[in-house]
Amino acid sequence: MQQIIVDISLSSEEFLQHYRGTAKNVLARSRDGRRIRFPAEILRPFLLHSGISGSFVIRFDDQGKFSDIRRL
């Protein structure tokens, strides 16, 4: 299992674009410098009224499929 750490800061308005379907993916840069794209829906459990902010570990399998996400 592989993992990547990202720092995310999305306002509630930005996340609403993802929720409404006008933007389906989030683009982020990992702490090790890689650019990654992942489905916005995996961030839903972390949504607050102010948006989403924090550091997250995203784990994926050897084929690159999403496994889980957790806040650091």
Domains of the chain: 2-71 (2.40.50)
In angstroms, rounded to a whole number, what is the distance separating the alpha carbons of residues 46 and 2?
21
pLDDT at residue 19, rounded to an integer? 66
Q: List the beta strands (DSSP E) in 1-72.
A: 2-11, 25-29, 35-39, 51-60, 66-71
Query: Is the whole model's pTM more than 0.85, yes or no?
Result: no
pLDDT value of position 30 = 95
Q: What is the pLDDT of residue 12?
A: 82
| pLDDT value of position 34 | 93
**The two structure tokens encoding residue 2:** 């592989």
Region at 21 (left for phi over 0; alpha for psi -120 to 50; beta for the rest): left
- Give residue 48's pLDDT: 86
Q: Is residue 27 exposed (0-12), middle (13-18) or buried (19+ Cβ within 10 Å)? A: exposed
Instruction: For the chain, list residues with pLDDT below 50.
Output: none
